[in-house]
Chains A and B, each alone.
Chain A
Amino acid sequence: MDPSGTAGTEGSGARFVTTHWSVVLVAGRTDSTRAQTALARLCQTYWYPLYAYVRRRGHSPQDSQDLTQEFFARLLERHTLAIADPNRGRFRSFLLSTINHFLAHEWEKLGAQKRGGSRQILSLDLARAEERYDLEPTDNSTPDKLFDKHWATALLEEVLSQLEAEYQQAGKADLFASLKQTLTGTGESQPYAVLATRLGMNEPAVKVAVHRLRKRYRELLRAEMANIVADPEQADDELRHLVTSLAGR
């Protein structure tokens, strides 16, 4: 693979031009289909943190499911993005402030019978959301902090799924399964020799494979970060924020 030899960050440069959140923001009022698709993709990836947030704010499972569905339906239907929200530079902050507004001003106005119902614009696996929520250990962080933690997890889930899919397509699913633990490691401490024996490779080859995996992971992570901020320059900042939010787990 060619990019493995290059210095790195330029490889993902082209991606930055069409990042999802910036596409949505630029489109603003004009409801372009591109913006719709971009927003739908973002909502698909990041709906669970929002669901968990609503649950933590004290809404019942059924209410939370309806609420999440209704919220995304409204978000996708009418572009409320033109509002000048200082948080809109980041998709995460934007969603949080928009849901707060929604909870405070609009949700109660909807009659109980009008809530939920047939408004299924996104197909979200809301039925399983509650199972997932139940599985989580009790966490006494504030809803905001919990939202950020879930956000970081959703982001990583997305990136790792992409990475895994790439390895699967290349017929290297086993390699990914064996090496994925090295993504969190600091390098030297990883038992390359053990991995080499298990994979039937020699040690230098394992090192190269690990290097490639990490490099590709970082590329995909950067690309996804760029998807959720309006300006690629905010990506590092957002990443640091997420690291901080997880540090308190």
Chain B
Amino acid sequence: MDTIQICPSCGRPLPSNAPKGLCPECLLKAGLQTETQPNAGGPAPPKPPPFVPPSPAELARHFPQLEILELIGRGGMGAVYKARQPSLDRLVALKILPPGVAGDPGFAERFTREARALARLSHPNIVAVYDFGQAAGMPFFLMEYVDGPNLRELERGGKLNPREAMQIIPRICEALQFAHDEGIVHRDIKPENILLDKKGRVKIADFGIAKLLGQTTVPDAALTGAGDVVGTLNYMAPEQREKPLTVDHRADIFSLGVVLYELLTGELPLGKFAPPSKMAQVDVRLDEVVVRALEKEPARRYQHVSDLGTDVQNITAAGSANPPLLSQPPAPVVPPAPPPEEPSDCRILPAFLLAFIFGIFGAHRFYVGKIGTAFLQLFTFGGLGIWATIDWILILCKAFKDKKGRRITKWT
């Protein structure tokens, strides 16, 4: 009786090497399910049933204006279908959120507000939102269809070398900076949400969906399935785990730091992580970028994601022959030459020269016995000297701050 040819569960023919005569695909899928199944006997758990995406046929009934082609992805935040919009003759992506979220008080208002904000995000590197609404209790977004893999799939397939990966980062940064300028934080930056279309263009998906789902804590396991929670948690900034509703754009910078680290090393920066250059053959200057993006304290991170992008771009473009070219030099050992446009910096050299000349002249007056003019000269010398010294102190302080007055030096 073990020589079954067809799997009784999925109806597909069994491969000849089926382990113990069982369908390998169904076996693995059974492994993905959670421990307690409602049908497994014993008391049923009080958990709500996990989100099961409807089949394309089921979904088609609610979207007569679309041809639903296939389910192309599912995760904690819903399911995505490839569809065709015959009226405009274009492919679209239809994202369905778990129906449970719509029952949440205040959801409708939040949904409308967020969706409108997302629709305003028109950027070549951000997946465009065409429409939104609710169908059969399921909130949905109609979005631009991106024909291409996500970063996770590329990583997995080993199709991305570090150099290519580093070319993607500045594009992501530009898109994120654009959104941040519009006051929108992504909140769920991870390789799965970074897509690359056929022409190699970066497209960031799922902007603000995490906020829309109103997560007051870390993503709800009932909504997402344990794997997704963990997956997202790995990329989450520390402050986002603690106070998810109060995070700002710097949470995205942290998440991007995790993505960057993973692209460089193939591993996650968990706990006390080693700098990327210790793990893989990467430019040692990228260590600093990664460490700054992954600062636990948001105030010590990059404050603008575009700065991170600039640094990565400069390092990648400069190659190893050129000296480090960071947008904001971290903790310079020697104070750098003061920038020429600063008036006080222009004054400092003449001040010293004048102090020197007056000093010499005053000393000469003493020498020849003209005490009165000597004192006059010395007072002038002293005044100029103090002026020059204060100027120097100011310049030194400025050296540790950038143009926007943000401190970039850690004194500890």
A binds B: yes
Query: Size band of the A side of the interface?
Result: 35 or more
Asked whether A230 lies within 8 Å of B267 as measured between CB atoms, the reply is yes
Asked whether A86 lies within 8 Å of B266 as measured between CB atoms, the reply is yes
A166 at the A/B interface (Cβ < 8 Å)? no
Query: In the complex, what residues of A have CB within 8 A of residue B18's CB?
Result: 153
Asked whether A86 lies within 8 Å of B24 as measured between CB atoms, the reply is no
A7 at the A/B interface (Cβ < 8 Å)? yes
Query: In the complex, what residues of B have CB within 8 A of residue A215's CB?
Result: 35, 40
Asked whether A153 lies within 8 Å of B17 as measured between CB atoms, the reply is yes
Asked whether B156 lies within 8 Å of A241 as measured between CB atoms, the reply is yes
A79 at the A/B interface (Cβ < 8 Å)? no
A137 at the A/B interface (Cβ < 8 Å)? yes
Asked whether B20 lies within 8 Å of A208 as measured between CB atoms, the reply is no
Query: In the complex, what residues of A have CB within 8 A of residue B28's CB?
Result: 152, 156, 221, 239, 242-243, 246
Asked whether A246 lies within 8 Å of B25 as measured between CB atoms, the reply is yes
Query: In the complex, what residues of B have CB within 8 A of residue A180's CB?
Result: 20-22
A-B contact count (CB 8 A): 146
**Which residue on chain A has the smallest CB distance to residue B158?**
A87
**Contacts of A209-239 to chain B: CB distance below 8 A:** 210-211, 214-215, 217-218, 221-222, 225, 230-231, 233, 236-237, 239
CA A204 – CA B41 in complex, angstroms? 8
Binds B, one of A63-71, A112-120, A184-192: A184-192
* A93 vs chain B, min Cβ distance (A): 7
**If the complex has contacts A135-B17, A156-B28, are A84 and B281 also in contact, measured as CB distance less than 8 A?**
yes
Query: In the complex, what residues of A have CB within 8 A of residue B19's CB?
Result: 153, 156-157, 160
**If the complex has contacts A180-B20, A246-B24, are A240 and B32 also in contact, measured as CB distance less than 8 A?**
yes
Asked whether B230 lies within 8 Å of A233 as measured between CB atoms, the reply is yes
A183 at the A/B interface (Cβ < 8 Å)? yes
CA A132 – CA B21 in complex, angstroms? 15
Query: In the complex, what residues of B have CB within 8 A of residue A2's CB?
Result: none
A125 at the A/B interface (Cβ < 8 Å)? no
Query: In the complex, what residues of B have CB within 8 A of residue A186's CB?
Result: 9, 39
Query: In the complex, what residues of B have CB within 8 A of residue A243's CB?
Result: 25, 28-29, 32
**If the complex has contacts A7-B35, A208-B41, are A184 and B17 also in contact, measured as CB distance less than 8 A?**
no
B217 at the A/B interface (Cβ < 8 Å)? no
Asked whether B280 lies within 8 Å of A86 as measured between CB atoms, the reply is yes
CA A230 – CA B36 in complex, angstroms? 27
Query: In the complex, what residues of B have CB within 8 A of residue A87's CB?
Result: 158, 266
**Contacts of A123-158 to chain B: CB distance below 8 A:** 132, 135-137, 150, 152-153, 156-157
A36 at the A/B interface (Cβ < 8 Å)? no
**If the complex has contacts A186-B9, A207-B41, A233-B234, are A217 and B31 also in contact, measured as CB distance less than 8 A?**
yes
Asked whether B227 lies within 8 Å of A237 as measured between CB atoms, the reply is yes
CA A85 – CA B158 in complex, angstroms? 10
Task: Give B278-300 as 1s and 0s: 1 = Cβ < 8 Å from A's Cβ atoms.
Answer: 01110000000000000000000
Selected from B7, B30, B158, the residue in CB contact (under 8 A) with A217 is: B30
Interface residues of B (CB under 8 A from A): 7-10, 12, 15-42, 155-156, 158, 162, 226-227, 230-231, 234, 264-268, 270, 279-281
A-B contact pairs, 17 of them (CB 8 A): A8-B35, A85-B266, A132-B17, A136-B16, A156-B28, A180-B22, A184-B23, A184-B26, A185-B26, A186-B39, A187-B37, A187-B40, A208-B42, A210-B41, A215-B35, A233-B268, A236-B226
Closest 5 interchain pairs by CB? A86-B266, A236-B227, A187-B39, A8-B35, A184-B26
